[in-house]
Structures are given as structure tokens and as C-alpha cells.
């Protein structure tokens, strides 16, 4: 009986784990310059998400052109790629249940003036070209962006001891 229950619980846990998708988040050069790296990481940690990869780097233009390829041809594309490459950024991979959609909510709308107070962009930004942080918009986009910025071995699988207090 106990064994059966444990089996069901273990299968359920595995299913929950399978739904714990990953997303690609990146503090942009304005966020780094304004000293918001710690604040942003704190918000994601306190929410309960799990950090699995992080770098501090100046991104080469070739990487940024691939990262922003969906925007190629838009009037802001060139300025965007130049700006993101102008200073250090903090690319990260975060994992958790529905993290792609939920982290976009924590980040707020693209235009910080339209972002709700309480969101990262809503609290710290004003201009659309200085909106502090990038977040993948879909699970498929996240997979593409993670692969672009991080090798498999740079992503660290681990089991935080607090998880049982975050997931039921």
C-alpha cells in the first residue's frame, strides 16, 4: 500500500519535473550599468525559480544578430543590436513550472511605461530602448535562445533543498 502510494507520488513528481521548463533571461547593458543585476536575480530567486546557468560578458555582434534575428528589418533593429553589444550583459537560464510565461509577467510589457508597477520594467524603466531585461517569449524561443548562449555543459542540473517548500 505504502509502496503503491510512493510509486504514484514518484510518477507524479516526475511529471511535475518534466513540466519544469527553462527560459533564457538576460540583464541588458542598462540593467548592469544601473546596478540592477542583484535585484533582478533576487526577484527570480524569491519567486522560487531555479538558476541553472549564468555568465557576465560583452556579447559579440554575430551572436546578437542571431539572438534578435526575428526583428531584422525593423527600424529599431540596428540600434538594438548595437546597444546590447555596447556593454556587459548577464545571460541566464532559469528553470521552473511555467517559467517562460511567468517570468514574462515578472518582467512586464515591452514598453516600461505600459508595464505594471511591481514588474521589473514597470519599477525600473521608462523607455522601450532601455527596458533592462530580455526574456524569451515562448517555450520554443527559449530553447533556441538557450542553445545560442549556453553549451549543454554550462547548464547545471541541481536539486535545491527548498523545492519541497515551493512545489506541493
Q: Annotated catalytic sites, by residue?
A: 134
Is the CB of residue 106 less than 8 Å from the CB of residue 119?
A: yes
CA 88, distance to chain mean position in Å, is: 16
Binding region for ligand IDP (CB under 6 A) out of 34-42, 52-60, 127-135, 148-156: 127-135
Window 126-165: residues binding Mg ion (CB under 5 A): 137
**In a 10 Å sphere around its CB, with 0-12 CB exposed, 13-18 middle and 19+ buried, how is residue 32 labelled?**
middle
Torsion of CA 126, 69, 37, 167, to 10 degrees: 110
Q: Where do the H-state alpha helices sit in 74-154? A: 77-84, 99-107, 120-124, 139-149
Compute the half-sphere exposure of residue 149: CA atoms within 13 Å on the CB side of its CA.
Answer: 30
**Which of ligand IDP, Mg ion, none binds 76 (CB below 5-8 Å, type-dependent)?**
ligand IDP
Binding mask 25-54 for ligand IDP (x = CB under 6 A): ------------------------------
Question: Is residue 134 a contact residue for ligand IDP (CB under 6 A)?
Answer: yes
In the list Mg ion, ligand IDP, none, the entry touching 110 (Cβ below 5 to 8 angstroms by class) is ligand IDP
- CB under 8 Å to 161, separation ≥6 — which residues? none
Answer for the pair 41, 53: CB distance below 8 angstroms, yes or no: no
User: Least distance from C-beta 29 to ligand IDP, angstroms?
Assistant: 11
* Total interface residues for ligand IDP by CB under 6 A: 9
Per CB under 6 A, the list member of 128, 139, 143, 148 interacting with ligand IDP is 128
According to the binding rule CB under 6 A, does residue 137 interact with ligand IDP?
Answer: yes
CA–CA–CA angle 129, 66, 110 (5° rounding): 25
Q: Per rule CB under 6 A, is residue 80 in the interface with ligand IDP?
A: yes
Interface residues with ligand IDP (CB under 6 A) are: 71, 76, 80, 110, 128-129, 131, 134, 137
Judged by the rule CB under 5 A, the positions of this chain that interact with Mg ion are 137
Amino acid at each position: 500500500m505504502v509502496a503503491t502510494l510512493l510509486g504514484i507520488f514518484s510518477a507524479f513528481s516526475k511529471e511535475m519535473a518534466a513540466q519544469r521548463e527553462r527560459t533564457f533571461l538576460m540583464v541588458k547593458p542598462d540593467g548592469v550599468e544601473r546596478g540592477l543585476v542583484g535585484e533582478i536575480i533576487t526577484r527570480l530567486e524569491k519567486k522560487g525559480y531555479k538558476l541553472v546557468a549564468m555568465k557576465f560578458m560583452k556579447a559579440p555582434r554575430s551572436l546578437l544578430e542571431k539572438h534578435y534575428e526575428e526583428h531584422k528589418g525593423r527600424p529599431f533593429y540596428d540600434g538594438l543590436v548595437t546597444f546590447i553589444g555596447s556593454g556587459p550583459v548577464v545571460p541566464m537560464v532559469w528553470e521552473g513550472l511555467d517559467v517562460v510565461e511567468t517570468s514574462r509577467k515578472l518582467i512586464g510589457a515591452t514598453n516600461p511605461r505600459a508595464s505594471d508597477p511591481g514588474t521589473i520594467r514597470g519599477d525600473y524603466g521608462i523607455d522601450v530602448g532601455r527596458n533592462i531585461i530580455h526574456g524569451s517569449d515562448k517555450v520554443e524561443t527559449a530553447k533556441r535562445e538557450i542553445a545560442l548562449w549556453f553549451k549543454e555543459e554550462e547548464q547545471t542540473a541541481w536539486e535545491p533543498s527548498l523545492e519541497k517548500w515551493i512545489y506541493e
